Structure 1
C-alpha cells in the first residue's frame, strides 16, 4: 500500500512540506495537490505556490477559518490532500453578483466541465466558493440547468469567519475572491450531507427578500418578526447590539415541498434591519425557527455514515473528506462539535479524516439530487484515488 493521501502540518514548514511532496511523487508521478489553509496561515500561500511551481506540481486550494483533521478543529496549519492523478480543476471569477452574473458564470463553468464528461465514468463536481458570493443558490440552479444529472454535486464555502472579504481560492498562479474553484472528481459517487435540525413550529412567508437578505416576513419588518419569534419560543431578547452573539443560535429553516429543510443562519443585521444570511432566501419561502440537533442523538451521524456506505461502500479504513459548518460549531459549542467529530470517526472507522470549517455547504440528501446550498450541516465523501 502506498503512503496515505493526507498530511497535516501544524505550521508552514517548507522543508517538511517539500519532503512529503517528494515522497508522494516518487510513488505517484502524475499527482496533484489540494491544499486547505487555515485562515491564520493565509499569508504563506505564495510560498506553497512557488514550491509547487518549482517542482512542476499542479495545485489548487482554499482558505477556511479552521481545518478539520482527525477528530480536531485546527486553527493553524495546512492540510495537503494528494490526488494520485490530478483531475480537472479550474478557478472561475464571478464578477457580476446577481441572477445574470450567476447565469454567465454557469455558462462558463459548465462549458469547461462538459468537455470532460464525454465518457460514462461517474463524476462529482466538487465546488469551493467564496462564502461572500450572494448568488450561490442561483449559480447552482443555473449549473443544474446546464449539466443536470451528468454529475453529482457537492461543495463547501471558503473564506473568513469574520465575513470580511478576502481572496480565499487559489491555484498555482492566482489567489482570488468572488469566485469558484471547480474540481471534477472521476470516478466519484457524490457526497452525503446532514444537519439534524427539526422544526414543529409555525411557518411564516418571507414576503420580501433580496438574494441573501430577508427584508420582510409576513409583510412586516423581518427583524421585528424575528425578535418576536425568538422571544416567544426561547425567551431570549435579541437586539442590534447582541445580534451576532445570539442569532447564530436561532437559525431559520426554509421548508421545501419535498419535506427537506434548508438551514439559513442570520449572521448580520444590515442598516435597514434586514437579516443577512449566508445563502439565498427565495421570495415567498416558508420559514420556521429551528431546534438545534442534540449531539447525544445519533441520528445525524448515523444518517451521514449510512449515506456514505450506500454511495461508496463501508467507509471503514478509507480516507474521508469532511466539512463542518462554522455556524453549526458556534451554535452547538466547540466541545459538542468536537464530540461530533469524535463520534463520527469512531462510527465510520475511517483511516483518516481531513477537511475544513465551512461557511456553507453544497449537496443534497438524494442520489443524483438537485444541488442545494445549506448551512449548519456536516458534509462528507470518500477521498477516492483511481488507479
Structure 2
C-alpha cells in the first residue's frame, strides 16, 4: 500500500496524486478519503473519478485521519497492491428500493469467502440499517466488513460517495478485496438509565419512548443526570455526550447518535426500530479510549494474514471527536501501537467481528488490520 496525503484539500492536488499512483504498476486500485471541508462539487470531481485507469472507491467525510492527526481539510489517497472490485447501490432512501433484492442481483456470482468488504454509505440516507441487514442476509459472515457513513457535519445530504461513476448521493459503494484483515469493534459508553422501550419510531426518527414523546423522556433523564438544560444549551452540544444504546443479546450495545429534534422526536444517524429496548448512555475520556484500545486489540487477535506489518484502517465516529475535543489525539496514540494508521471520522460505522451480526454503529471505534504493508 502506498499512502499519500495532501493537506490543502484542493481537487487539483488530489488529482495529481491519484493519477500518479494509478500509473504505478504496483497499484491495482485506489481508496480515496476526502474531507467535507474540501468543498468539492460533483461537477468538478466526476471527471477525475470517471477517468482513472484503476478501480476507485471511498468517500467524503467530516474529517480524515492521517499521520497521527485528524484533518478537517485534505485528502488521503491509498494505492492498494491488491485489486478491489467496486459495486454501487443507489437510491437507498427511496421506498421502492429493496436493498436486499438489489444486493442479491448486484453481488451474485462473486466469491466472498475469506474476503474483506469495504462499505461506504451516505450517512444521511434514511434506510442504512435496512441496507446493512440486506448485506448480511445476502452474504452472511463470509467476508469481513469495514466502513462507515460519509457526509457532512452540516447534516445536509450531498454527494459524498466516491465511485468509478463519480461522486454520488444517497448511495453506497462496496469494495470487494482479497486482502486479509482482522476487525475489532468497541465504544466505551455505559448506561445511565433504566431500560426504555421504543414505543414508536419511523426510520431514523424516534417518536415515543415508554409511550411518551421521545424528547421529553430523553431530556428528563439527561437533565437530571448531567445537571444541564436543553433550554440554555444547543441540543447537539448536550446530545453528543448522551447517545442511545440498543440492547443486543450477548453482544455490545449498538449505539445511536441523536443529532437533532423535530416535533418532540429524536432524529438519529441510523434507524432505531420500534419495539426495541434502549438505554441512554454516557462516558468519559478514559472509558472511550479504553473502548478504542479494545477494538484495536480485538482486531489484532483476529488477524490471520501473512503480512507481518499490517496497516491499521481506523473508522471512528466524528461525534467521539467532538466529545473529546483537543484530547482526541490521545485516542489515536492509544490505537496506533506502532502501525501505519489511516482512516476517516464518520457519520456512523459499519463492521462485524467475524462471529457476530453485521451492524451499523454510531459513536463507535472500528479497527481493521489490513494485510497490505505500507511502502514508500
TM-score by length of structure 1 reads: 0.87
Question: Of residues 323, 338, 341 in structure 2, which corresponds to 1:353?
Answer: 341
Shift of 1:152: 2.5
Q: In the aligned structure 1, how far is the partner of 2:217 from the partner of 2:184?
A: 34
Q: In the aligned structure 2, how far is the partner of 1:129 from the partner of 1:180?
A: 4
> Does residue 1:221 correspond to 2:213, yes or no?
yes
Counterpart residue number, 1:276: 267
- What secondary structure sits across from 1:26 in the alignment? coil
Counterpart residue number, 1:338: 329
Change (3 A) 1:111 1:53: closer
Counterpart residue number, 1:87: 84
> Does residue 1:377 correspond to 2:375, yes or no?
no
- What secondary structure sits across from 1:62 in the alignment? strand
Shift of 1:235: 1.3
> Does residue 1:57 correspond to 2:54, yes or no?
yes
Give matches, 1:131-280, under 5 Å: 131-199=123-191, 201-239=193-231, 242-270=234-262, 272-280=263-271
Q: In the aligned structure 1, how far is the partner of 2:19 from the partner of 2:93?
A: 37
Shift of 1:73: 0.7
Shift of 1:265: 1.6
Unaligned runs of 5+ in 1: none
Q: In the aligned structure 2, how far is the partner of 1:176 from the partner of 1:298?
A: 33
Question: Of residues 274, 281, 287 in structure 1, which corresponds to 2:278?
Answer: 287
Q: In the aligned structure 2, how far is the partner of 1:15 from the partner of 1:248?
A: 34
Verify the 8 A CA contact 1:254 1:263 in the aligned structure 2.
Answer: yes
Counterpart residue number, 2:99: 105
Change (3 A) 1:150 1:6: same
Q: In the aligned structure 1, how far is the partner of 2:24 from the partner of 2:161?
A: 28
Shift of 1:298: 5.8
Provide Cα deviations, 1:267-299, integer angstroms capped at 9, x if missing partner: 0101x2100010111112222121214337763
Provide Cα deviations, 1:191-240, integer angstroms capped at 9, x if missing partner: 22210112253111111111111111111111111111012211112239
Verify the 8 A CA contact 1:317 1:349 in the aligned structure 2.
Answer: no
Shift of 1:157: 0.2
Q: Which moved more, 1:5-14 or 1:63-72?
A: 5-14
Q: Which moved more, 1:85-94 or 1:275-284?
A: 85-94
TM-score by length of structure 2 reads: 0.89
Counterpart residue number, 1:72: 69
Shift of 1:20: 7.0
Question: Of residues 14, 22, 26 in structure 1, which corresponds to 2:20?
Answer: 22
Q: In the aligned structure 2, how far is the partner of 1:200 from the partner of 1:193?
A: 21
Change (3 A) 1:48 1:80: farther
Shift of 1:52: 6.1
Paired positions, count: 371
Q: In the aligned structure 1, how far is the partner of 2:29 from the partner of 2:66?
A: 20
Q: Which moved more, 1:70-79 or 1:17-26?
A: 17-26
Verify the 8 A CA contact 1:295 1:336 in the aligned structure 2.
Answer: no
Verify the 8 A CA contact 2:30 2:54 in the aligned structure 1.
Answer: yes
The structure where strand makes up a greater share of residues is 2
Give RMSD over aligned pairs. Answer: 2.6
- What secondary structure sits across from 2:180 in the alignment? coil
